[in-house]
Amino acid sequence: MNRVRSFAGGIHPLHAIGHGKGLSAGLPIEMLPAPERVYIPMSQHIGAPCGPCVAVGDHVKRGQKVGEVRGFVSAPVHASVSGTVVEIAPHLVTGGSMVPCVVIENDFHDEWDESCLADPLPLERIDAQQALSAILEGGVVGMGGATFPAHVKLSPPKGAKIDYLLLNGAECEPYLTADHRMMLEQSARIIGGIRIIAKALGDPACIVGIELNKKDAIAAMERAAQGTGIRIAGMPVKYPQGSEKQLIQVLTHRQVPSGKLPMDAGCVVVNVSSAAAVYDAVALRRPLTERVVTVTGAVAHPKNLLVRVGTPASALVEYCGGLSENVGRVVSGGPMMGIALFDLSVPVTKGTSGVLALTKSQADPGVTTNCIRCGRCVRGCPMHLLPYELCNDVEKNNWAAAEKHNALDCIECGSCTYVCPAKRPITSSIRIAKRQVMALRKKK
Ligand code: SF4
Ligand code: SF4
């Protein structure tokens, strides 16, 4: 294992190592029984939503496509159980919007679609084009939370040279341990997926970055990677180590210029769970219909669960013994970037990495006071921005100044808000600034 240096900025949130991750890091992945009904949203990715390709009353098998792409930047969605389509209608999803969902009543036969039952393809017989079309057909998206369609990410423009394929095994959000368990228990699938992706990208150097608070995962991945040329790098424990630009800097010493993409620095970054999904889609021809979700925090029994896409979040919480009495908020994802869930009927999607219950005191943002110009937000910002200045721009509705202060470079990591002693809602303000700057640019 190579050890690498950290990036400038960033923070060390409590619970990154001990109590937070410690609640579930040692717990093997358990399979959550499939629910009676799954709600498959037509949009589980960045880009154009899918259109349903089944009708109410149809019998569907597991792995059968139920939503077709309607644009290049999109990813199909598939049935996660076999059964009958009983409804196609908008349902509440994470984030609070209503999204059309195909609702399937489970027949509990778990019958796979015929297309998913072929013999596994040996990796050496898979070519780049075959891999890309299977990744598209399998509906693989970024499973670290970004949900960018994988076939798009893995199709650099003609002439662009990719030197590095970087695997994100940082899982730097406190509490979350789904990727950690995947690396421990499914390392061969991940390595298989990396080899397929590398083939699709023209065989770049492959490095898996894992934070040093997961030494057992590092050892498991090293064993699985033996003889493949894939390097495993141990990274310092710091948030947001798993953010693309920080990962690239730490693992390759390259910088992604402002407003540019990792590809512009010759890099492609893929989450480790997404790599396992690529293996399934290409070698096993099984689309993405389930994922590991960490259910943790103020629940009776924290767990890492293998969950069918479309399962209501309430089923996960119930399986973990329910919420504790002092819960103040439940979020989808981790405490730094997670999205508040006001209704646990929302379905698990391809991007759901965690369901975290925060206690009332953890959820209380505290009383906001005036900025005391302490500079902590500046020191903590991994993008070298001036968060307090951006807040001032928002207070003055000065979007030209926000653009000048590089609001669009903010990765919404929440580090500034976390360290601010005045409890200012800096990240929320900058989100507003980003929207306004985008609108301003469209008008130009
Ligand atoms: S949320 Fe934005 S401004 Fe705040 S620390 Fe992260 S990148 Fe910097
Ligand atoms: S951390 Fe908070 S109080 Fe300190 S400079 Fe930034 S906004 Fe002001």
Q: What is the pLDDT along the chain (444 residues), one digit of tens a residue?
A: 777 778 888 998 865 445 699 999 999 999 999 999 999 999 999 999 999 999 999 999 999 999 999 999 999 999 999 999 999 999 999 999 999 999 999 999 999 999 998 888 999 899 999 999 999 999 999 999 889 999 999 999 888 899 999 999 999 999 999 999 999 999 999 999 999 999 999 999 999 999 999 999 999 999 999 999 999 999 999 999 999 999 999 999 999 998 899 999 999 999 999 999 999 999 999 999 999 999 999 999 999 999 999 999 999 999 999 999 999 999 999 999 999 999 999 999 999 999 999 999 999 888 999 999 999 999 999 999 999 999 999 999 999 999 999 999 999 999 999 999 999 999 999 999 999 999 988 877
2-28+135-283 is a CATH 3.30.70.520 domain: no
Q: Is the CB of 383 under 6 A from ligand 1?
A: yes
pLDDT at residue 145, rounded to an integer: 80
Q: Tell me how far the alpha carbon of residue 337 lies from the centroid of ligand 2, in angstroms.
A: 19
For the Cβ of 177 lying below 6 angstroms from any atom of ligand 1, the answer is no
- Find out whether the beta carbon of 380 lies less than 6 Å from any atom of ligand 1: yes
Cα 352 to middle of ligand 2, angstroms: 31
Cα(66)–Cα(42) distance, integer angstroms: 9
Nearest CA to ligand 2 atom 1: 420
Ligand nearest to the CA of 415: 1
CATH 2.40.50.100 residue spans of the chain: 37-106
- In degrees and rounded to multiples of 5, residue 150 shows phi and psi of -65, -35
CATH number, span 37-106:
2.40.50.100
CA 211, CA 246: separation in Å to the nearest integer? 13
- 383 CA distance to ligand 1 centroid (A)? 7
Q: Are 232 and 258 in contact (CB under 8 A)?
A: no
For the chain, where do the domains classified as CATH 3.40.50.11540 start and end?
A: 2-28+135-283
Q: Whose CA is nearest to atom 8 of ligand 2?
A: 371
pLDDT of amino acid 443: 78
Is the beta carbon of 88 within 6 A of some atom in ligand 1?
no
The pLDDT assigned to 12 comes to 87
Q: Which helix (H) or strand (E) holds 331?
A: strand 327-332
- Domain limits, CATH 3.10.20.600, in the chain: 289-363
373: Cβ below 6 Å to ligand 2?
Answer: yes
**10 ligand 1 Cβ < 6 A:** no
Q: How remote is the CA of residue 95 from the centroid of ligand 2, in Å?
A: 28
Q: Ligand 1: which residue has its CA nearest to atom 7?
A: 410
Integer angstrom CA distances of residue 83 from 34, 56, 77, 346, 366:
12, 11, 16, 20, 48
Nearest alpha carbon, ligand 1 atom 5: 381
User: What is the model's pLDDT at position 15?
Assistant: 55
According to the model, what pLDDT value does residue 51 have?
A: 97
For the beta sheet containing 30-31, the strands, ordered from the edge strand earlier in sequence to the opposite edge, are 30-31, 303-308, 290-297, 354-359, 327-332, 339-341
Q: Distance from the CA of 2 to the center of ligand 1, in angstroms?
A: 29
> Structure pTM?
0.95
Please give the structure tokens belonging to residue 137.
Answer: 């057909």
Q: Count the helix, strand and coil residues of the chain and give each as a percent rounded to the nearest 5.
A: 30, 25, 45
Write down the architecture of domain 289-363 according to CATH: Roll (3.10)
Verify whether ligand 1 is closer than 6 Å to residue 336 (CB atom).
no
Ligand number nearest CA of 420 is 2
Q: Where are the alpha helices (DSSP H) in 57-185?
A: 128-137, 150-153, 178-185
| Cis amide bond preceding 335, omega within 30 | no
Question: In angstroms, rounded to a whole number, what is the distance separating the alpha carbons of residues 74 and 43?
Answer: 8
In SS3 terms, 398-435 reads as: CHHHHHHCCHHHCCCCCHHHHHCCCCCCHHHHHHHHHH
Q: What is the pLDDT of residue 16?
A: 47
